[in-house]
Each structure stands twice: as structure tokens, then as C-alpha cells.
Amino acid sequence: MSECTRQQEIVALVRAGRWPDGCEDDARAHVAACADCTESVQIAMLLTDDYRAALRTARVPGSGLVWWRMQRRAREEAARNAARVVTLVQGICVVLGIALAVQILGAENLTHAFARWNLPLILGLTLTLALAPAVVAVYLALSGD
């Protein structure tokens, strides 16, 4: 199957509203002799007319309203994403806090706990607990959303 090479030119004439009166005799003669172009003209006329009629009746919301809705939706999505990150960090903090409490309370006294258990690990856990919310806050403040 192959199609006529002048088809796009003929369709462009229809779309420009130049068919049949505003075009050259040569184009009209070609369409009369070419079944491909005849079919294309018929379909192009139908679809172009339908498109123009639909454009006239189309009711779309104003650009200001669409922009405002988009901004609101973007903010809501950003808030949801932030809430997810915060919840995750909270979960990690709770787990670390429980681990820390178990280690400290399980020992006879605080000095013993530090001595018996791994001091760097306890300090690490404490620092993580203290800094995690700050890191999240900085991330959320600096992220594009």
C-alpha cells in the first residue's frame, strides 16, 4: 500500500479553508483523478468541520483558575511527600530511642552503662536522635518543592 505524495498538500488546503474554491485548478484536477486524495479530502473536511464546531462550543476553565489549582495541588503533593519523610524519620528515631533506653536502663548505673556498653555507639545514637529532625528540616527547606 502506498499513498499519494500530494496528500499532505491537499489536506493543508482543506484545513486552511481553501478547498475547493480557494485553490488552484491543478489541485482540483488532481483530487478529481486521485482516489487517495478524494478520500483524504472527504475525511479532512469532516474532521476539520467537527474540530472547528467543537472549538466554538468548548468550555475550558480560565488560565488563572487552572494555574491556582495547579499550585494548590503541587503544594499538597509536596506536603504529602514531606509528611512521608517525617514519618519515616520519626519511626527511625523511636527505634533508636528504644534501643538507647534499653541499654541505659538495663545497666546498674549510668557510668556502668557507658563503661560496659560501647560509648561511641551510645553517643552515636544520641547524636542521631538529636540531629535527624534537623537534617530533615534542612532537606525540606532546601528541596525545590
Partner 1 sequence: MTHDLVMNDALTGVDSRAGTDTAHGPMDEDAFRAFYDRTSRAVWVYLARVTGDRQLADDLLQEVFYRFFRARATHTDEAHRRNSLFCFATNIARDANRRKVRTRHEAVPVDLEENAEVLRVDARVAERFEASTDLARAMATLKPVQREMLWLAYALGSSHAEIAEILGIRSGSVKILLLRARRKMAALLGRPAREKR
Among positions 29, 43, 98, 123, the unique one binding partner 1 when judged by CB under 8 A: 43
Instruction: Choose one: 20-28, 33-41, 89-97, 107-115; the region binding partner 1 (CB under 8 A).
Output: 33-41
Span from 52-60, 87-95, 108-116, 127-135 in contact with partner 1 (CB under 8 A): 52-60
Cα–Cα distance measured from residue 74 to residue 78, given in angstroms and rounded to the nearest whole number: 6
* Interface with partner 1 in residues 107-136 (CB under 8 A): none
Is residue 84 a contact residue for partner 1 (CB under 8 A)?
A: no
Cα separations in angstroms, 6 against 20, 45, 60, 78, 135: 15, 16, 36, 51, 64
Distance CA 126, CA 120 (A): 10
Query: Locate cell 488532481: which residue?
Result: 30
Between CA 132 and CA 139 the distance in angstroms is: 11
- Rounded Cα distance between 45 and 97, Å, is 73
18, 20, 24, 74: which one contacts partner 1 (CB under 8 A)?
74
- Using the rule CB under 8 A, is 79 a contact of partner 1? no
- Give me the residues that bind partner 1 (CB under 8 A), please: 1-3, 8, 11-12, 15, 17, 35-36, 39-40, 42-44, 46-48, 50-56, 58, 60-61, 63-64, 66-67, 69-70, 73-74
